[in-house]
Amino acid sequence: MNAPHDAPLPLLARAAGPTLAEQLAARFAERIAQRLLAPGTRLPSVRDCAARHGVSPATVVAAYDRLQALGLVQARPQRGFFVRDAALLPARGPATGAPRAAPVDATALIRGMFHAGVRGSAPGMGTLPEDWLDPALLQRALRQATGSDAAAGWVRYGDPAGDPALRAAVSRRLADLGVPAEPGQIVTTVGATHALDIVARTLLQPGDAVLVDEPGWAVEYERLSRMGMRLLPVPRGADGPDLATMQALLLAHRPRLYVTVSVLHNPTGNTLTPAAAHQVLRLAEQHDLTIVEDDTYAFLAPPQATRLATLDGLKRTVLVSGFSKILTPQWRVGFVAAPPALAERFIDSKLISTLTTPAPLEQAIAWCLDQGLLRRHAERIQQRLDAARAHAVRHALAAGARFVTPPQGLFGWVDVGTDTERLALAMLDEGWLLAPGTLFQVGRRPSTCMRINFAATQDGRFWAALPALR
């Protein structure tokens, strides 16, 4: 069953109290404060906003003027009103950090996932729905970890590399995928994002160039940009990266890293072909490039899917993954598998950032892996996802959407024929949180594409609202 759809925002009140313009301005101001409207977002045109909210154009102009007076938006001649950049918004405290190169604000979507107004109604979310997960399995695993002899060690710091039982279990799991990694080559982390951060902080210096997929995940763009890296986008197609562009960027900029998702790419859902993988590794060898392979959605993919780490044997590749996508977002447990010399350096970076990672959760996950329970849980999720994907694809095509790439995995990359950033604003009024295409680009550009989560787009009301608002 899907979570009940949250009701759309109420109509503006035509009664004593705040004027219609003040109410409309307050509505936009609240969304800006909640970061549901990212810096740089264009507000609806005066005409569209007036029609949407059932008010006169003069009311909208007054509301936008009020937002401008508050310093929340700025008017651009002949273009409209835009949410001001975070650095220009009214200060909440001392400003910190250097200006970022990528103007996409990835936190808008993430904050939206935590916002009560869109909980359960987030077709753009990046996780499985709550009712797809298995709380009973989590409880059994925690009880097993609590009752084991290992619990006696919880009163002291854990192994800097991570719980030995989990690293051994991960080593066996990777061997099943054809990735040779001894337990000593594995370092546990606080989720896959933390693993990516450790790798970047260990191997990069501010100003270094980094190859990234485009479209790709805005969190990685934002994180690398805040660290002062120069992002070099490589177009991502159905088979993998654009190899000609990749080679040209390697020759011109000598990047240090290539951060990519080989299997069930986010947001397109594509998986790297063996031929493309061999070419990528050949380029990495020629240009002394380290490849960081983000395998976050590994448990949703077929085991025979092409991984660079499998073909390379963890020589020029570093593999990152985690368990929160398949078990629960609350269990922030991830890992990085790397050549032995790099693994030791990653431990040093981990010690600086978190000291160690929580042994109880790591022991619980190790038990799930060793007992085969995680594998069986993943198989059930894959079967359910296959059915949900087929259902969502039928609805999407009926609603006039076009899949840019073949539907696979958790995400679909769809073209709806209109600016999805503007569409996202209209859909948010109805309680639906979208992931517009501009989030998945290194630079903010209008896009008619958006990412949908097949598991979170089962409600027919979403597909009915989409063409109506488009």
Tell me what pLDDT residue 30 has.
76
**Best CATH choice for the domain 107-133+375-469 from the list 3.30.200.20, 3.90.1150.10, 3.40.190.10, 3.40.228.10:** 3.90.1150.10
Tell me what pLDDT residue 200 has.
97
Tell me what pLDDT residue 152 has.
66
Tell me what pLDDT residue 247 has.
94
Q: Which CATH class is domain 135-372?
A: alpha beta
The per-residue pLDDT for range 384-409, each reduced to its tens digit, is: 999 999 999 999 999 999 999 999 99
Tell me what pLDDT residue 17 has.
63
**Residue 463 in contact with residue 395, Cβ under 8 Å?**
yes
For the chain, where do the domains classified as CATH 1.10.10.10 start and end? 20-88
Task: Please tell me whether the overall predicted TM-score, pTM, comes out greater than 0.85 for this model.
Answer: no
Per-residue confidence at 93, pLDDT binned at 50, 70, 90?
A: very low
Query: What fold does the segment set 20-88 form as a domain?
Result: Arc Repressor Mutant, subunit A (1.10.10)
The per-residue pLDDT for range 45-76, each reduced to its tens digit, is: 999 888 888 889 989 998 999 899 888 999 99
Tell me what pLDDT residue 469 has.
78
Per-residue confidence at 379, pLDDT binned at 50, 70, 90?
A: very high
For the chain, where do the domains classified as CATH 3.40.640.10 start and end? 135-372
For the chain, where do the domains classified as CATH 3.90.1150.10 start and end? 107-133+375-469
Report the chain's mean pLDDT, rounded to a whole number: 87
**Range with the lowest mean pLDDT among 75-84, 145-154, 371-380?**
145-154
